[in-house]
A and B are shown apart, each in its own frame.
Chain A
Amino acid sequence: MSPEDVSTAVSQISVRDVEITYPNGAVAVEDISLDVRHGEFLAILGPSGCGKSTLLQAVAGLLTPSRGEISIGGKPVTGAKNAHLPSIGYVFQEHRLLPWRTVEQNVELVLSAGGVPKAEWAERTTRYLSMLQIEHLRKRWPMQLSGGQRQRASISRALALEPSVVLMDEPFGTLDEVTARAMRSELLDVWQRTNRTFVFVTHSIREALFLADRVAVFTRGPARLIETIDIDLPRPRDYDSRELAALEGQVVARVLDVWGE
């Protein structure tokens, strides 16, 4: 999608003046407004523990903001009956598969809960497990898989629902660097093939710049939005390219004061 298309496309996720407070009264997220366009890959970048994951949880409806509004595809994410809530794919930092169900059963459970007709389960499960290259592992228990394979299963589960948006909370944070690199490239491939809206939370500047169309940079907690950066690097991108390294240097220079101690 070219930048012109993105700017004219409709907003898929809308975050308006959102403030989130923890149960202990501390403010996690302070007055954030953000729009994510349809089909866009947005990265949310911030230092560890800044509240960016908390915002993602609020977008998923897991937390209710103390102020402001969040909607997906025009539907508010909290307060409605299940059937009227937008469908969301969520990839957590840990896989959060049910260990007592096989890979296939984990995907099917989500399809079933999402009201997908049973006749479609087999085809969808096969399609997305194949896309993530773990179709041959569909009968395995999660505990029989490697860390990378589990995360592939978790991503397949999120995509199989064919949701309006896919939210990812540092999904490669626990993987080794080599596996993480392979997964990043594949994730971009999957994103382009599925044409869905992705929101990806990370504390890695290079990861954000490599993946995203746009990067929303947050402050240290309580999180506020510093700026959003359009990443104009052509795709496919090279993780080790000089352009990416240069861009990373610029972003580091810009956030150094705000993120530093």
Chain B
Amino acid sequence: MSRDKAKRGVLSLLALLCVVVGWVYWSEKSGLLPSLGEVAAATPDFFSDPDVYAGVWATLHRVVISVLIALALGLLAAVLSKRGGLAGKVVDVYVSLAVAVPSTVAALIALFIFKRSEIGVYVVVTLVIWPFMVMTLRGGLQMMDRKLDDMASVYRMSRSRRLTRVVVPQIVPYLFAAARSENAHAWRVVVLAEVFAINSGMGAMFTRAYDRFLLEEVVLWIITFMVILLVIEYAILRPLEGYFMRWRFSDVP
């Protein structure tokens, strides 16, 4: 277990090193991409600017709300789909349609429909990530263990107790899988929507820096974006998942 971990750590470092080497080489050759030193010099100013944090906060806010909305609607749709019937079939059709819409197109359509309103962002992001949520959660519902229902019946568990103690814990792993895989997706779509449609947030600030040819700032925005995604994945979602799934991962003490 720990040897695997060490191996993975070394590989991650090597991958990072490759990117840095590529960056150094390219910035030397092209003269367009700012060098490591130039970016490092611009870093203190960048991170002492309160607007940067305001931008990050605006984007984070949009991502969290959109993911929560998509999770709730995704769960609802997954339950309907699992139940079958007319509603289930309708849901299945919408899922197939929504999967086929490219994120960029969705962002542009929302720009036309909602002009520059905040609601437009939520609609685009939800529309884009919702079908994937439905598919993951539907898979979870299909894996539910019917045998535990019999156990719950024999021991006369009430509906609410069955829901909280027997049903929900079986869906939790799939909620995490859906949230984890669609979190990164949601960030990309929110930033895209901000580029096209909104005047605030990381996407808007990135575009502004790009338009003014402030390439150090562009690079710093890219790095910030990657760091935020990694922090959310490794410092928040995975530990949380590990906590909720500790019954599955614990070794015999």
> What chain B residues lie within 8 Å of A85 (beta carbons)?
156
Shortest beta-carbon distance, A100 to chain B, in Å?
A: 4
The answer to whether residues A62 and B165 also contact, given A114-B156, A143-B247 and a CB cut-off of 8 A, is no
Q: Is the interface of B mostly helix, strand, loop or mixed?
A: helix
Known: A113-B157, A143-B248. 19 other contacts (CB 8 A): A60-B154, A61-B153, A62-B150, A62-B153, A90-B151, A90-B154, A94-B147, A96-B147, A98-B148, A98-B165, A98-B166, A98-B169, A101-B165, A109-B157, A109-B165, A113-B156, A140-B252, A141-B247, A144-B253
Q: Is the interface of A mostly helix, strand, loop or mixed?
A: loop
Cα of A96 to Cα of B148 in the assembled complex, Å: 6
Cα of A142 to Cα of B151 in the assembled complex, Å: 15
> What chain B residues lie within 8 Å of A74 (beta carbons)?
none
Cα of A64 to Cα of B253 in the assembled complex, Å: 44
B153, B155, B246, B252: most-surrounded residue (chain A CB, <10 A): B155
Chain B stretch 220-253: residues in CB contact (< 8 A) with chain A = 246-248, 250-253
> What chain B residues lie within 8 Å of A96 (beta carbons)?
147-148, 150-151
Cα of A92 to Cα of B165 in the assembled complex, Å: 19
**Counting CB contacts under 8 A, is B30 at the interface?**
no
B residues lining the A interface (CB < 8 Å): 147-148, 150-151, 153-158, 161, 165-166, 169, 246-248, 250-253
Q: Is the CB of B247 within 8 A of A100?
A: yes
A residues lining the B interface (CB < 8 Å): 57, 60-62, 82, 85, 87-88, 90, 92, 94, 96, 98-101, 109-110, 112-114, 140-144, 161
Please name the 7 residue pairs, one residue from A and one from B, whose CB atoms are nearest each other, closest first: A141-B247, A90-B154, A100-B169, A96-B151, A113-B157, A100-B247, A110-B155
B151, B157, B248, B250: most-surrounded residue (chain A CB, <10 A): B151
- Quick one: closest A residue to B154, CB to CB? A90
Cα of A90 to Cα of B251 in the assembled complex, Å: 29
Cα of A88 to Cα of B153 in the assembled complex, Å: 10
